[in-house]
Structure 1
């Protein structure tokens, strides 16, 4: 895992955050951002694109939040604790909403099923960070 390797190579040790949970969350965020971006693009190419507008919008918003959180977490735990908790919670919420929406289309569209799974994994990784 490149994320864990980079964490270990960093001269400042992590304090107060489980390194494995942090690496897992970063990787889940990056995977979810990719899945959501791909799902939104796939939705745009479906015949019933009008019915997928909410899905597309949630995909885009979720991808942006996942990408932002991955960058924030990669910079390390020096981020203000309140801001870090808010960013993690916002990402978890976006993943839950996007995953729920994609799940409603999963029987019809394989890309939505895959995206819903990525969203669920990312939501769980965010919640597992335990930043209290």
Structure 2
């Protein structure tokens, strides 16, 4: 298996993707959706890159450090946006994003 060494980051990417998708759905149901627009946009972006990077690692991508750097940057941005909002789903998403950014930074180094 080419991705044995990446088990931890793959799990973290998957958890982050799920947290972002949940936050995205929950944000769409909030009363002040306009205020949540940046959060919604970044949730989508972050879920997409995490899902893509998870798949890429699984198939042995040669672009590990490049993708890890991009993913860390997007996770960090999403986490910073989510932590501005008091909603439980945003706080949980921010935590998942920061954990994922940290794991990705290890691979980008």
Normalised-by-shorter TM-score class: over 0.9
Q: Tell whether the 8 Å contact from 2:39 to 2:81 is kept in structure 1 after alignment.
A: yes
Which of 73, 83, 86 is matched with 1:93 structurally? Answer: 73
Structure 1 moving runs of 4+ over 6 Å = none
Structure index of larger Rg: 1
For 1:104-115, what aligned pairs fall within 5 Å after superposition?
104-105=84-85, 108-115=86-93
| Structure 2 length-normalised TM | 0.92
* Secondary structure at the counterpart of residue 101 of structure 2: helix
In 2, distance between residues paired with 1:124 and 1:111?
20
Gaps of 5+ in 1: 1-9
> What is the total number of aligned residue pairs between the two structures?
109
Q: RMSD of the TM alignment (CA)?
A: 1.6
Quick one: structure 1 residues 84 and 129, their matched pair in 2 at CA, closer, same or farther if it must change by over 3 Å? closer
Aligned-residue offset at 1:130: 5.1
Q: Tell whether the 8 Å contact from 2:3 to 2:58 is kept in structure 1 after alignment.
A: no
Gaps of 5+ in 2: none
Residue 84 of structure 1 corresponds to which residue in structure 2? 64
Which of 26, 29, 52 is matched with 1:68 structurally? Answer: 52
